[in-house]
Structure 1
Amino acid sequence: MRDVILLCDHARNAVPPEIGDLGLPPEDMNRHIAFDVGARGVTLGLAAWLGAGAVLSTYSRLVIDPNRGEDDPTLVMKLYDGTIIPANRHADDAEVERRLTAYHRPYHDAIDLAIDEVLEAGGAPALVSIHSFTPQFKGRPPRPWHVGVLWDRDERLARPLIRRLEAEGDLCVGDNEPYSGQLRGDCMWRHGTARGLPHVLIEVRNDLIATHDGQADWAKRLAPVIRGAIEDLRADGH
């Protein structure tokens, strides 16, 4: 499915050498605050199953979050889920601009390039972004969903995907849960909504994909669901 472009905004917990360790111990850098646990493995597995292209982020969301617009106040987080990010506490406008130039914009340029290549080949790009979420957040009740489908104004891909996930029979599927997909300036808005392309963001609960086996299982499970949703999309003339 060469028209499908997989994205993984929070693929890695790496930090550029010039920034150091952000002032955080390794145990924090291995938590969800630094990256989406398991999302990279699922994305790569899906790329193999679907024969699709993929664009994955290079650095931790704590360096700069590629899933935020350039004017978003949470672009460079100083406090994340109760954890202070020491290297970000005094990041001024000049430092934020440096990180935008070095890390944020190249990721989005790579996505634009992937889209343009599909268009130039006469294809119809569809974007599928893979994320993961924690089973519980900030002491709130446990999240019941195994997987969530996030969307904004464009339901073309989200609706068939939700229907097919629910048809699996053993999944609790979130419709714009555990988050809303209506975040202006995020990756899906910038490359999907703004360009009029079908797009969807899939959130998998991270305890289900914390291991290589879990990632492989979910990639194998999601692949035919995504393939079917894309076929539904094309059958509707999109």
Structure 2
Amino acid sequence: MLTRSDILAASDGAAVAVHRPESQGRVLLVCEHASRRLPASVGDLGLSSDALISHIAWDPGALAVAERMAELLDATLISQRFSRLIYDCNRPPESPSAMPEVSEIYEIPGNRDLSPAEKFARTAALYVPFHDRVASEIALRRQRGAAPVLVTIHSFTPVYMGKRRDVEIGILHDDDSRLADAMLNGATEGYRVERNEPYGPADGVTHSLRLHALPFGLLNVMIEVRNDLIADVDGQERAAGYLARLINAALGAFDP
């Protein structure tokens, strides 16, 4: 049977990265699709180089925005170090899109007909340590009496399946809309900001929120930024500053 060690070799390093672990801010940032890197054990999954640098492999610009937001918010950031093509950490193991055979227009030969053992090994190597680390950080903060605010950072393509997306920033939520409501109420000029766009809970994108925030009543939100707006340092700085200000202003509504 395949094991975790069959997926990640010592030379691959850890599945999860923790940025600014000593930060004191109340926000905990999470970036599930931060990297397009693949473990050596899976090669290129049978994909072209164009596919492997495209949005199907990662969320371009999301990590850079999240890292800058971590500085502005004095926040800890937890990010995945490998591509969502090997395992999408914003999907539960039972979801077909956790290890997709097809993503957008691309077939993924290396994900076709995976055995239960292969799926288990990927889950153990990537999904479990990532979400264990998020859960541990939340538990530590709750033990200290400081309930964290969970914010996940993503990016999306300006064109999907031939259709142009006009939304620039999406503020997404599941059953708990408190923080999203406050952010949307405070959204100022500068970006076209919309609720649960270009995705929403029905698309299965709020797994991390459902896993880590909803059971504990933690304030939470998922943020999507159109990736053409964060393709360079200036765009990343602008988006990070805007979002940090929006979050800080929204959290003011929940202060005692």
User: Which TM-score tier does this pair reach, normalised by the shorter chain?
Assistant: over 0.9
Which stretch has the larger CA shift, 34-43 or 224-233?
224-233
| 1:44 correspondence with 2:64 | no
Report the equivalent of 1:7: 30
Q: Please name the residue that 1:164 is paired with.
A: 186
2:203 aligned with 1:180: no
TM-score (norm 2): 0.87
Matched, 1:62 2:85: yes
**Which digits, 9 at most, give the CA deviation of each residue in 1:187-220, with x for residues without a partner?**
1111112332111000000100112221122112
**Counterpart in the other structure of 1:190:** 211
For 1:195 and 1:70, how far apart are their aligned partners in 2?
Answer: 22
Mapping of 1:58-97 within 5 angstroms? Answer: 58-97=81-120
Which AA in structure 2 matches 1:149?
I
1:146 aligns with 2:168: yes
CA distance in 1, matches of 2:199, 2:230: 19
Separation in 2 of the partners of 1:151 and 1:74? 20
Q: Distance in 2 between matches of 1:170 and 1:151?
A: 22
Shifted more, 168-177 versus 75-84: the winner is 168-177
Cα distance 1:77–1:42, how it changes in 2: closer, same or farther (>3 A)?
A: same
Find the aligned partners of 2:35 and 2:81 in 1 and give their Cα distance: 6
Match of 1:31 in 2: 54
Instruction: Name structure 2 gaps, 5 residues minimum.
Output: 1-23
- Distance apart, 1:40 and its partner CA: 0.4
User: 2:90·2:205 contact (CA, 8 Å) conserved in 1?
Assistant: no
- Equivalent in 143, 150, 153 of residue 120 of structure 1: 143
CA-based RMSD: 1.4
Gapped regions of structure 1 (runs ≥ 5): none
Give how far 1:180 is off.
Answer: 0.7
SS at match of 1:18: helix
**After alignment, is 93-102 or 22-31 more displaced?**
22-31
Conserved in 2, the CA contact under 8 Å of 1:69 and 1:185? no
**1:96-117 deviation per Cα after TM superposition (whole angstroms, max 9, x unaligned):** 1000000111100010011012
Identity among equivalent positions (%) equals 37
Aligned residue-pair number: 232
In structure 2, what is the equivalent of residue 202 of structure 1? 223
Give the drift of 1:185: 7.0
